[in-house]
Structure 1
Amino acid sequence: MARGPVTLDSAALDRDPSRQVGALRELWPYLRPYRGMMAGAFAALVLTATVSLVLPLAVRRVVDNFNSESLYLLDQYFAAALGIAALLAVGTGLRYALVTRLGERVVADIRKSIFGRVIGLSPAFYETTMTGEVLSRITTDTTLIQSVIGSSVSVALRNVLILVGGMVLMLVTSAKLTGLALLIVPLVVVPILTLGRRLRHLSRANQDWIAASSGNASEALLSVQTVQAFTHEALSRAAFDRVTEESYRSALSRITTRALMTAIVIFLVFGGVVGVLWIGAQDVRAGQMSSGALVQFVIYAVMVSGAVAALSEIWGELQRAAGATERLVELLTVTDTVLDPARPIDPPLPMRGEITFDNVSFFYPSRPGVAALDHVSLSIRPGETVALVGPSGAGKSTIIQMIQRFYDPASGQVRLDGVGLKDMARAAFRRSVALVPQDPVIFAATARENIRFGWPEAPDDEVEEAARAAAADAFIRNLPEGYDSPLGERGVMLSGGQKQRIAIARAILRDAPVLLLDEATSALDAESERLVQDAIDLLAEGRTTVIVAHRLATVKKADRIIVMDEGRIVAEGSHDELVAEGGLYARLARLQFTDGSGV
């Protein structure tokens, strides 16, 4: 089902109708490891269906011998009926336990598989896909599949067995009445096929609108402070209400269609059964069949008609699950634009940190007509500190992203210690890179765990040493539980500067030969900036350091300054050399580094 890079959130609401329930075959790889559990559930299912079909035979014997003078024989029939009921209860309980466990296990595996897939997709995927859409698929869609595997499929199989077995036993009981009952089948099949096709499409559309609603809510809640700061609550509510109402209207169409299909099928089935039984009653009065035989036929007819009605409802569930399966498979099979090579080359060890851009051009997927990098050639020596400066949108942060291979160049090559990034596994060379982003990410974990994110196995003393080096130790110890204090979702307990220092401590702990600083001191006050700058200067010794910065203190200390504009390198040199040249750097220096009157 892979169709190349997929823009899930925009394509979700405008796609072809869902395939038929055959899409559920995609779940087989997740079911295969639990064949033993499936076999046990199927055996319990066959047992309960068989017992259900035997029960009317016992009832017939009781009815036909109700006026018998032999009490012992009547007691035996009642005892047999009771034993059958007990067997049915045990088999049903066993079937429920096995299929429910199977559903939970399979869905857990699917969720792990999908999360493992999407967590490794390159940022290009998330440029065109809302996170809420992905989360909806992992939660809502997998819940649908859990319902189907843990309930609907087994119920469907049980009803199929009862339908087939019941029809055979109806035929044995009365071929005449069974033949009349079969005349109803074509009338029942037509609405199932016609309305079922529409139901498939509506079910898929409904799931897509639910995902769109989740994406809208996720985006607003993740930016709740910005929403409130700009008094955008009413508009955000209106946008969410609009998408949610569309989801409701879509669900209403699905519910109406399914209700109509169910009503038509049940009326046709039970109306037909009533007609057939009326004929059977005439045969009993005429002495052509016994009362017990008619009762037996009635029970089988009710069981068969109930099975048909149940299958018509389950068919709708299976179609919804088929749509959900398609959506999940899209995530599992979406083609990423950044892939590890089939036979990756090991990074050079020890890593020296030489970075080379060889005539690199790059376009962001969301802006294919604008070059973020335009034939950039750059060589950074091992241990050199290079500052990237230029106006917003010049390509500075893009350089940082290309070094981490978040994207691949449209042309040219990026190399680390002479080896192309495309030739190495991403996880292998990224271990040699530490990043401090402009907008630091703080996880809903403790301060210690947030710093340890840079090196998961780090002992506590090294975590605290990294925090001291980043000037973060003092404020961390002032938290209610010190290093073990939860920082809240996205670090809501911290100021911007404190978040930045946690991120710097994380990079210090990683102790990588390549250090990337994207406006790493932008959110710090003067005192904290001085402390952190001292830590960065110490950390940068012997490491290749690439800094995106605007502050004079940071830029002037760099071994070399690269000036960028519109995706191109327009000048490079030391601070004094570039100021003497005039041009863009000198203008930026006057505007950003001083009061605008001089440098």
Structure 2
Amino acid sequence: MVSSFVRQLAFLALPYLLGRAVQEVVADGRTDRLAWYVAVLATVVLVEFAGLCGWMMWSNLAEARLAAGLREDVLGVVLDTDDAALATRTDGYGDTLSRAVEDVDVVLVWVHGLATWVVIGTTVVVLVPSIAGIDPSLLLVALGCAALLLVVNLTLPPRFARRIGAFAQAQASRTRTVEELTSAYATLRGVGGEAALVRRHDARSADVTERIVAVARIRSLWAASGEAVPFAGIAVGLAVGGLAALDGRMDVGQLTTFTLWMGTVQLATNAIVARLGDFGAARVSAERITAVLELGRPRDSAGAPAPGAATDHAPSLALTGVAAAGAAPVTFTLSPGDWGLVTGPTGVGKSTLLRAVAGLSDHTGAIRWCGAEVGRIPVAERFEQIVLVPQAPLLLHGTVRDNLLLAADPSAGPPPSDARLREVCRTAAFDVVLEALPDGLDTVVGERGSTLSGGERQRLALARALLRDTPVLLLDDVTSALDEETEHLLLDRLRARTDDRVVLFAGHRPAVRSRADHVVELHPTEVVARG
């Protein structure tokens, strides 16, 4: 703020000094003053440059800090919120991504421009008395421009805010459609359904185009009004100032200063228009971001465990009266080395129960790890204790190495060695696949792992989870796409590597059931525990 104030004072001083130089050196013929004015103007330019550098540096720092903080907060809420709750505030994956990227960017533009209000305020405080001192009639011209701009800025911003809100919704809808198109295209192509997805994408793209044209129409009218009014003021001011100069009430230097200052008034006016536009867009985006941040579940400070509390008790995973997705309550305890299996008919809530154990889904009853309620363990610490491999794991467009290293903690030191990566791949029975890949760990797996089969994607996701090396491993039907031979190989290797871990499966594969120490059969109205 101080830097922008200093910069604007220097910027406003330049027209005054230049006007005096024109009057004394050119009009009055005092050429001996030329060197002095050149030195003073050069000094003021350097001061302005220094102020501008400070202004940009601090604005960029504030923008970067806010960007990191907002995106970290949004990501934390998304990771700590179950899908059902997230769906009440967002319109799917695409909309959530739009809030974390485009909406945050819009807010950052507004934050970056906050110091501009110091510039605008300085301009008003300096120019109002200065222009009045030259000629009161010129001040009336400036006030007339301000009145017209006030009318423009009272009528157009509400319309702009409505248009930008509609555009944001349309953009989020198209983003979701693109995500659906890229993820489901290969599947639907086999049954001839790709045309429907393309048509839906085209329709939503057309809606985005219509909305952005409406936004551009309002913004162009707004911006054009912001420039036309000051230009008209300059024309009127030159006419008034010219008559005053002819009457001897104003010298050439003052007329020069006024003309240059009116250019500054135009810049300030454009800045006001831009900042008000940024505010309208930022308010809409801030509301969309806030809708996600409000999903962050409040922690009861009296009942919340202190950092590290999850390791203060004997290690065990205990579920007491836990019910999720309408299934009957479940009660069981697993200790390190135990394999548990939650099984039952399709749709009974096996996957939801595992998500509840991971702290990602609402439930009744109590889920405790090492004596601490899982839902109250800080998110970062919980991720160090519990890892979930979903039935349909997410792989990113990149190499095998890239996808494995998603589980590595960059703050823990250098990344895992190739030997460590190959070790977890072997445990997950992915080593045979790895050997057959043309570039091994550096083989690109395509969008969402599209170059791999379903079973290969499951095994790569399991290897990634093993790299995390957490004491609790939650596996949601991770062998459902494997043949019997590969499944037995994977389970035997996994058993040998999890003597000190709690492993909880969800599924109904006989090979998993035969190896489980505890089996819990879920039914909508009853739970049968064995083992």
| Interval of TM-score (by shorter of Structure 1 and Structure 2) | 0.7 to 0.9
Partner of 1:516: 474
Query: Offset at 1:344?
Result: 0.7
**Which amino acid in structure 2 is aligned with residue 335 of structure 1?**
L
Is 2:174 aligned against 1:220? no
**Which amino acid in structure 2 is aligned with residue 225 of structure 1?**
A
Provide Cα deviations, 1:377-415, integer angstroms capped at 9, x if missing partner.
322343543332222111111221222121232x32223
**Which amino acid in structure 2 is aligned with residue 107 of structure 1?**
E
Partner of 1:167: 128
Provide Cα deviations, 1:33-75, integer angstroms capped at 9, x if missing partner.
xxxxx5334423332232244323323334532xx4xxxx136
Task: Give the alignment partner of residue 111 of structure 1, picking from 56, 67, 75.
Answer: 67
What is the 5 A alignment of 1:568-583?
Answer: 568-573=525-530
Is 2:300 aligned against 1:336? no
Are the aligned partners of 2:188 and 2:194 in contact in 1 as well (CA < 8 Å)? Answer: yes
Distance 1:417 1:501 in 2: 28
Are the aligned partners of 1:163 and 1:308 in contact in 2 as well (CA < 8 Å)? Answer: no
**Which amino acid in structure 1 is aligned with residue 72 of structure 2?**
G
Provide Cα deviations, 1:446-487, integer angstroms capped at 9, x if missing partner.
435644655656555444333223322232133333334454
Are the aligned partners of 1:63 and 1:291 in contact in 2 as well (CA < 8 Å)? Answer: no
Pair 1:301–1:222, CA change in 2 (3 A): same
SS in 2 for 1:534: helix
**Which amino acid in structure 1 is aligned with residue 490 of structure 2?**
V
Distance 1:185 1:88 in 2: 28
Partner of 1:587: none
RMSD, aligned CA? 3.5
Are the aligned partners of 1:356 and 1:379 in contact in 2 as well (CA < 8 Å)? Answer: yes
Provide Cα deviations, 1:299-330, integer angstroms capped at 9, x if missing partner.
44454355335533443234334444444454
SS in 2 for 1:545: strand
Pair 1:493–1:88, CA change in 2 (3 A): farther
Pair 1:87–1:157, CA change in 2 (3 A): farther
Task: Give the alignment partner of residue 326 of structure 2, picking from 373, 380, 383.
Answer: 373
Distance 2:406 2:260 in 1: 65
Partner of 2:344: 390
**Which amino acid in structure 2 is aligned with residue 390 of structure 1?**
G
What is the 5 A alignment of 1:463-502?
Answer: 463-502=421-460
Are the aligned partners of 1:448 and 1:484 in contact in 2 as well (CA < 8 Å)? Answer: yes
Partner of 1:51: 14
Structure number with larger C-alpha Rg: 1
Percent identity reads 25
SS in 2 for 1:547: strand
Are the aligned partners of 2:328 and 2:522 in contact in 1 as well (CA < 8 Å)? Answer: no
Query: Offset at 1:555?
Result: 2.0
Query: Offset at 1:535?
Result: 1.8
Partner of 2:512: 554
**Which amino acid in structure 2 is aligned with residue 500 of structure 1?**
Q
Query: Offset at 1:192?
Result: 2.1
Provide Cα deviations, 1:501-560, integer angstroms capped at 9, x if missing partner.
223334445555544322121111233122112223434556543322222232233344
Partner of 1:32: none
Pair 1:512–1:148, CA change in 2 (3 A): closer
**Which amino acid in structure 1 is aligned with residue 31 of structure 2?**
L
Distance 2:179 2:255 in 1: 60
**Which amino acid in structure 2 is aligned with residue 391 of structure 1?**
P
SS in 2 for 1:190: helix
Q: Which moved more, 1:469-478 or 1:96-105?
A: 96-105
What is the 5 A alignment of 1:356-371?
Answer: 356-358=319-321, 360-362=322-324
Are the aligned partners of 1:145 and 1:321 in contact in 2 as well (CA < 8 Å)? Answer: yes
Pair 1:169–1:508, CA change in 2 (3 A): closer
**Which amino acid in structure 1 is aligned with residue 7 of structure 2?**
A
Task: Give the alignment partner of residue 158 of structure 2, picking from 189, 194, 197.
Answer: 197
Distance 1:493 1:234 in 2: 23
Partner of 2:98: 136
Q: Which runs of 5+ in 2 are unaligned?
A: none
Partner of 1:399: 353
Pair 1:272–1:500, CA change in 2 (3 A): closer
Distance 2:228 2:465 in 1: 69
Are the aligned partners of 2:513 and 2:519 in contact in 1 as well (CA < 8 Å)? Answer: yes
Distance 1:340 1:328 in 2: 24
Pair 1:102–1:250, CA change in 2 (3 A): farther
Pair 1:262–1:88, CA change in 2 (3 A): farther
Query: Offset at 1:84?
Result: 5.6
Partner of 2:242: 281
**Which amino acid in structure 1 is aligned with residue 330 of structure 2?**
S
**Which amino acid in structure 1 is aligned with residue 528 of structure 2?**
A
**Which amino acid in structure 2 is aligned with residue 465 of structure 1?**
E
Pair 1:495–1:350, CA change in 2 (3 A): farther
Partner of 2:23: 60
Q: Which runs of 5+ in 1 are unaligned?
A: 1-37, 363-371, 575-599
TM-score, normalized by length of structure 1? Answer: 0.74
Distance 1:361 1:240 in 2: 39
Distance 2:172 2:370 in 1: 44
